[in-house]
Chains A and B, each alone.
Chain A
Amino acid sequence: MRAWHFSENAYPFLPPTDEYESIRVTLPNRLYDPVKGAELYDRFLTEWQIAEEEGVNIMLNEHHQSATCVDPTAPLVLAALARLTSKARLLILGNPIANRRQPVRVAEEMAMIDVLSKGRLEAGFVRGVPTELLPANSNPVRMNERHWEALDMIVQAWTGHDGPTSFEGRFFHHRNINIWPRPYQSPHPPIWVSTTSPGGAGQVGAHGYIQATFLTGFKGTPAIYDAYRKGWREAGRGIDVPVNRLAYAAMVYVADTEAKARAGAEKLLWYVTANKISPWFRNPPGYSPIEANVKMMLGDAAGGGFGNFGANSTIDGAMANGTMFCGTPDQVFGQIKNFYHHVGGFGNLLLMGQAGFLDHEETVAGIRSFARHVYPRLKEEFPDDAISGRRDAADAAASE
């Protein structure tokens, strides 16, 4: 099991929620104080450095025009981390390539960071939440098709070493692809793709890329992992799916007493609760499949990419859902073990370990308690070369 400290670079110093319409897309940036923002960047970079000192890897993400994640150009932060760290793997999860105009530029950014970090890059690619579409001026329709075409083009750019190649696709065109530098890792950095739906996971599995899923809990995760394993096997990658191909992101807070852990976890819930978004930004037409929209009209679904967040707004609710692991080291180890077996095994735990008003000392205490008292046990109990999931397709079918 590999663990990754993930922080969204949130800017929490906002007026009461009834004084603004939406924390994403329309929140005026006059509410952002660049002086406080600079202190926050300092702090979050330091926390990633501390994670590295504790033997934990580093993960960051990217959102736009949002106070929840003031990291609109994650490759810049990653470039800084490439110089500030020397051991940790550096995971960007990820590049929103359905919303970027030039995949070759993304390939260049990633290759440069891979060289700067001497081969520590883990390159993730995400479709992105609905609230990214207006900030990117990006069409909600056919995002998935753009995502996969862009990723193919990036891999082509990374792996061609004999002068220019060309790519003329449905969405992206480039006549002269010949990037300098090429990636440090060969044939290219490990590729991650996040998805929260079984349909998406099947495609990721077919490609053999590392599949990450966020806060999908006990309920949603098994179907996603099953779909990944099915896609993997159907693509002829073999019967056995290594656990290191699968990742799960949850809110995690560990302390020496349950009371202290719950106090930290309470602050982590900002992830879920600081999420006031105008309803019309949650589901722009074309983002969700037609059938999902029909279900929303029928009142069966809460709608949008954040549909299941509401139930996670308390510690007990989130823990029951499997979206939060919280408590003493023994308790958290037990919770993760339980989740691991429930979903069939995964090799990467993405720790949402900082949110909102969880201050520096509290964040660092959480990282250290996890790294020192839980992580070693996870590594021992769940080796990286373990196999994920049922080996027999009939068993998988029976669980559906």
Chain B
Amino acid sequence: MKRDMIKIGDIDLELHEAGEGPPLLLLHSGQGFSPDDPYVGMLAKHYRVIAPSHPGFGYSSLPEWMDAIDDIAHVYVALIDRLDLPSVHIVGCSIGGWIAAEIATKIMRRIDKLIVVGPEGVKTGRRDELDIPDIFAVSQEAMNRMRFHDPVKAHVDLSKLSQEQMRVIARNAETLSLLVWEPYMHNPKLRHRLHCLTMPTLFLRGASDGLVTADYLERYAQLVPGALIETIPEAGHLPHIERPEAFVAAVTSFFGRGA
């Protein structure tokens, strides 16, 4: 996978790119982007996969003025313009899905089709109940159970990581705090803007996702005209990691096979 640093405004953005075919903007979850994850190569067989590290994640810089998911969406609107993409598919996982939804409210006509995977971003439930469990108030074990169908797969062997990798992990976690702490995991404005989404949209969810429930996803999808919902069995919050074949099959069936 090709890796570049490009300048968008005052941001140094890390950009990964691979494959040929219809352009597909791939927006990672709060744990950051790993080009070696199997689903990435599988997608690159069909599409020109363009995968930035969000500002504050990976090696992308984080200017001090940025503190919201919507700020990142604005960066990617500029990126799509910079790459001269008249139209693009977007796949966003978890907060990447939230970013994708924010982008879609700004440049709806430039997006061919949109897939959001276990997305956060809206508040639809009761005000005295969190829509998304508080990820800052649970143990690592509980988080692993919410993120994975098989929590054993969540295990990270710290002894196998370089200090540089640890630095990226710590920085990703810090940026995630900055972006989702308050309002917790949502932008109160977003739900009122989703009515203008004109592109075909798929809401995808792992059946065992403990963070984004089926009810939440359904209420979210109802805000988007004509949105479809699909579930990937035996997967948690990160189906692209846990079930790459099933995930890529869902993507290609919705987008078409491309190259």
Inter-chain CA distance A137–B182, complex, in Å, is: 7
Provide the residues of chain A in CB contact with B177, threshold 8 Å: 139-141, 284-286
Q: Mark B66-95, 1 if CB is under 8 A from A, else 0.
A: 010000000000000000000000000000
Provide the residues of chain A in CB contact with B67, threshold 8 Å: 139, 141-142
Which of B34-42, B137-145, B210-218 forms part of the interface with chain A? Answer: B137-145
A298 touches B166 (CB 8 A): yes
Does B176 sit at the interface, judged by CB under 8 A? yes
Provide the residues of chain B in CB contact with A285, threshold 8 Å: 136, 170, 173-174, 176-177
A297 contact from B136, B158, B178, Cβ within 8 A: B158
Inter-chain CA distance A330–B173, complex, in Å, is: 51
A281-B137, A290-B174 given as contacts; is B181 within 8 A of A139 (CB)?
yes
Interface secondary structure of A, over-half rule: loop
Inter-chain CA distance A345–B77, complex, in Å, is: 57
B170 touches A294 (CB 8 A): yes
Of the candidates B64, B138, B166, the one having the most CB atoms from chain A within 10 angstroms of its own CB is: B166
Does B169 sit at the interface, judged by CB under 8 A? yes
A63 nearest CB across to chain B (Å): 18
A296 nearest CB across to chain B (Å): 9
Q: Mark A273-291, 1 if CB is under 8 A from B, else 0.
A: 0000011110011100011
In this complex, what residue of A is CB-closest to B137? A134
Of the candidates A25, A138, A290, the one having the most CB atoms from chain B within 10 angstroms of its own CB is: A290
A139-B178, A139-B182, A141-B178 given as contacts; is B139 within 8 A of A290 (CB)?
no
B171 touches A290 (CB 8 A): yes
A278 touches B181 (CB 8 A): no
Provide the residues of chain B in CB contact with A142, threshold 8 Å: 64, 67, 178
A280 touches B170 (CB 8 A): no
Does B253 sit at the interface, judged by CB under 8 A? no
A292 nearest CB across to chain B (Å): 9
A301 nearest CB across to chain B (Å): 12
Inter-chain CA distance A139–B158, complex, in Å, is: 27
- CB proximity to B under 8 Å, residues A294-336: 294, 297-298
A279 contact from B65, B139, B176, Cβ within 8 A: B139
A294-B166, A297-B166 given as contacts; is B137 within 8 A of A280 (CB)?
yes
Q: Mark B172-204, 1 if CB is under 8 A from A, else 0.
A: 011111100110000000000000000000000
Inter-chain CA distance A279–B136, complex, in Å, is: 11
A157 nearest CB across to chain B (Å): 24
19 A-B residue pairs with CB within 8 Å: A137-B181, A137-B182, A139-B67, A139-B177, A140-B174, A140-B177, A141-B174, A142-B67, A142-B178, A145-B64, A284-B177, A285-B136, A285-B173, A285-B177, A286-B174, A290-B167, A290-B171, A297-B161, A298-B163
